Copies of this chain bind each other. A is one copy, B any other.
Amino acid sequence: MQAGKPILYSYFRSSCSWRVRIALALKSIDYETIPINLIKDGGQQFSEEFQKLNPMKQVPALKIDGTIIGQSLAIIEYLEETRPTPRLLPQDPKKRAHVRMISDLIASGIQPLQNLSVLKEVGQENQLTWAQEAINFGFNALEQILQTTAGKYCVGNEVQGGSHSLPYHQPHQQVAASLGGLPSVSPLPAAGYTP
- Where the two chains meet, the residues of A that have a C-beta atom closer than 8 Å to any C-beta of B are 55-58, 65-67, 69-75, 77-78, 81-82, 93-94, 96-98, 100-101, 103-105, 107-109, 111-113, 118, 121, 130, 133, 138, 140-145
Closest 7 CB pairs of A and B: A74-B100, A55-B141, A71-B104, A55-B144, A78-B97, A74-B101, A112-B112
Provide a sorted-by-A list of 12 A–B residue pairs whose CB atoms are within 8 angstroms: A55-B143, A55-B145, A57-B141, A73-B104, A77-B97, A78-B96, A78-B100, A81-B96, A108-B108, A108-B111, A113-B118, A121-B133
A143: chain B residues at CB < 8 Å are 55
| Bound complex: CA A133 to CA B121 (Å) | 11
A145: chain B residues at CB < 8 Å are 55
A94 with B67: in contact, given A55-B145, A105-B56 (CB under 8 Å)?
Answer: yes
| Bound complex: CA A72 to CA B108 (Å) | 10
A121: chain B residues at CB < 8 Å are 130, 133
| Bound complex: CA A70 to CA B57 (Å) | 28
Tell me whether A104 and B101 are in contact (CB under 8 A).
Answer: no
A113: chain B residues at CB < 8 Å are 112-113, 118
| Bound complex: CA A96 to CA B122 (Å) | 35
Residue from A71, A72, A133 with most neighbouring chain B CB atoms (10 Å): A71
| Bound complex: CA A93 to CA B161 (Å) | 18
